[in-house]
Amino acid sequence: MIEKNEFYDVEFIDMTHDGMGVCKIEGFPVFVSNALKGEKAKIKIIKVNKSFGFARLVEIQSESPFRKEPICDHFYECGGCNLMHMNYQMQLDFKKYRTKETLKKLGKIETHVHETVGMINPYYYRNKSVIPFGEINGKMVSGLFKSRSHEIIDMKKCYIIPKITTDIVKYLKNVFVELNIPAYNELLRTGVVRHIIVRNSYKFDDISVTIVTFTNKLPKKEIIIKKLSSRFKRVISIVHNYNPDNTNVVFGRKSRILFGEDFIKDEINGVKFNISHRSFYQINPVQTEELYKKAIEYAAVTSDDVVIDSYCGIGTIGLSVAPYAKTVLGVDIVKQSIDDANSNASNNGIKNVKFVVGKAETVIKSWKNYDVDVLFVDPPRKGCDKVFLETIAEMEIPTIVYISCNVSTLARDLNYLQAHNYEVVEVTPFDMFPQTSHIETVTKLKYNKY
Ligand SMILES: C[S@@+](CC[C@H](N)C(=O)[O-])C[C@H]1O[C@@H](n2cnc3c(N)ncnc32)[C@H](O)[C@@H]1O
């Protein structure tokens, strides 16, 4: 039996889904951050559970040839970029391996998993940054959460958000300090500023900034607007959101537009989009274009086809595919996203689309009588609702293209569809979130009635 605080010499034989090294001590699995498969090291046990333990890396005795020195100063305290100690090719291989293993183990699916599609420059890619504010020893801090905690690290630089976003965050922090506007204190439930959300357009210069406060009013808002908009000309939208709740959810229910419009413009594969501050939008625009190209290739839509874009957000997939289809139907649960989807359709002169607000699992039933040729599925991390899966199984749709940001729920849903005559033809992982262990995949399914 292993004991806390004891030292062991080990060899790492595998990696967990979130990039920890896995070793075994007398058959007992132990997980270690910042360790790579194939490495030998001395570790110190920090926690022992019933069937597994955690340890700290003390000294690497034999280093993996795929190890890379993390370029970020915050790597060892921030939990965000948990693969930054792997070179980029190893990150891509790791994601392919995790996809294949998870589909096999959780979904009993043996299919062709392609190489992960990576980025030429896997840094500074996030078009949306959610930055928490807090105070440490009376000093305002903003930036990143410490790994597995609610403690904020004062961000000097972050390698996955655009440089201008870091500049805006630092500038606003100085403005708040100068104007005596304190950060929110979640323990005492006092103070003002909770978060700043910065959204950057990829194809245009547009930037929007949302300031989330604990208080109903944003003090000295005229001064803040003037300073921010004159210092950063690219900021064309400033929104104040009020969140008085004792919660980890970032946005509260009420928002007020303080400056400009409530949206920024962007473009994906030639289609223009307006994105308002609450709508879902993929966070890596370079990879989104590649992901959608693959999804459209898998769908092989023709001009006679009826297409459904379920979990459609602001309609990005549906509007990209509409020029090739007869009709596109889209559904999303967020009204603001559907409003954006409809105005995006008319702004692009696309008429063969219909977007409706609702739960995909409810609305899909009302579309059962359409002769649907292609279904796009792009649910949140928890995957599809059981009723949704049951309905699409009954609909016997010739082609399904399933886009997923969580391979575990993907495996569960594909397992169900496979058991209902859908063949999992192939899967392509996309590196939408370089340096982190998150995996995005596109899967092609065909209906085969035996
Ligand atoms: C991963 S996003 C995909 C959005 C869009 N396809 C895209 O590529 O930008 C998932 C979307 O599902 C929506 N959603 C979550 N639960 C839903 C449900 N039960 N029914 C319909 N939409 C839902 C969210 O509002 C979000 O827009």
Task: Calculate how far, in angstroms, residue 380's C-alpha sits from the geometric centre of ligand 1.
Answer: 6
- The residue nearest atom 27 of ligand 1, judged by CA position, is 313
Taking the centre of ligand 1 as the mean of its atom positions, its distance from the CA of residue 318, in whole angstroms, is 13
Q: List ligand 1's pocket residues with C-beta within 6 A.
A: 280-282, 311-313, 316-317, 331-334, 337, 359-360, 378-380, 385, 405
96-131 residues labelled b (16+ CB within 10 A) or e (exposed): bbbbbbbbeebbebebebeebbbbeebbbbbbbbeb
Q: Within the chain, which residue ranges are assigned CATH 2.40.50.140?
A: 7-62
Q: Which residues contact 228 (CB under 8 A, 6 or more apart)?
A: 168, 171, 172, 175, 209, 235, 238, 259
Nearest protein Cα to ligand 1, atom 9: 281
pLDDT of residue 29: 97
CA of 377 to the centre of ligand 1 (A): 9
Atom 19 of ligand 1, nearest CA residue: 359
At 35 the pLDDT is: 96
Closest-CA residue, ligand 1 atom 4, reads 313
Q: What is the 3-state secondary structure (H, E, C) of 49-90?
A: CCCCEEEEEEEEEECCCCECCCCCCCCCCECCCCCCCECHHH
Which of 234, 286, 236 is CA-nearest to residue 258?
236
What are the phi and psi torsion angles at 108 (to 5°)?
55, 40
Per-residue pLDDT of the chain (450 residues; tens, 9 = 90+): 899 999 999 999 999 999 999 999 999 999 999 999 999 999 999 999 999 999 999 999 999 999 999 999 999 998 899 999 999 999 999 999 999 999 999 999 999 999 999 999 999 999 999 999 999 999 999 998 888 788 899 999 999 999 999 999 999 999 999 999 999 999 999 999 999 999 999 999 999 999 999 999 999 999 999 999 999 999 999 999 999 999 999 999 999 999 999 999 999 989 999 998 888 999 999 999 999 999 999 999 999 999 999 999 999 999 999 999 999 999 999 999 999 999 999 999 999 999 999 999 999 999 998 999 999 999 999 999 999 999 999 999 999 999 999 999 999 999 999 999 999 999 999 999 999 999 999 999 999 976
pLDDT at residue number 450: 61
Q: Whose CA is nearest to atom 6 of ligand 1?
A: 312
pLDDT at 277: 87
Atom of ligand 1 nearest to the CA of 281: 9
The CATH class, in words, for 7-62 is mainly beta
Mutation choice for ligand 1 from 314, 333, 339, 356, CB with most ligand atoms inside 8 A: 333
User: Which residues are marked as active site?
Assistant: 405
**pLDDT for position 250:** 96
- Give the nearest ligand 1 atom to 331 CA: 21
Cα–ligand 1 centroid distance for 420 (angstroms): 24
Report the nearest atom of ligand 1 relative to the CA of 292: 8
Residue 343 alpha carbon to ligand 1 centre in Å:
18
Are 408 and 382 in contact, with CB atoms under 8 Å apart? no
CA of 331 to the centre of ligand 1 (A): 8
What is the atom index within ligand 1 of the atom nearest the CA of 362?
Answer: 20
Spelled out in words, what is the top-level CATH class assigned to the domain 92-120+284-447? alpha beta
What is the reported pTM?
0.93
Pocket probe mutation, ligand 1, options 266, 280, 321, 359, max atoms within 8 Å of Cβ? 280
Q: Report how far ligand 1's centroid is from the alpha carbon of 363 (Å).
A: 13
Taking the CA of residue 405 as reference, the ligand 1 atom at the shortest distance is 1
> 310 and 377 in contact (C-beta within 8 Å)?
yes
CATH number of 128-267: 2.40.50.1070
Question: Is the CB of residue 434 less than 8 Å from the CB of residue 122?
Answer: yes
Q: Are 239 and 262 in contact (CB under 8 A)?
A: yes
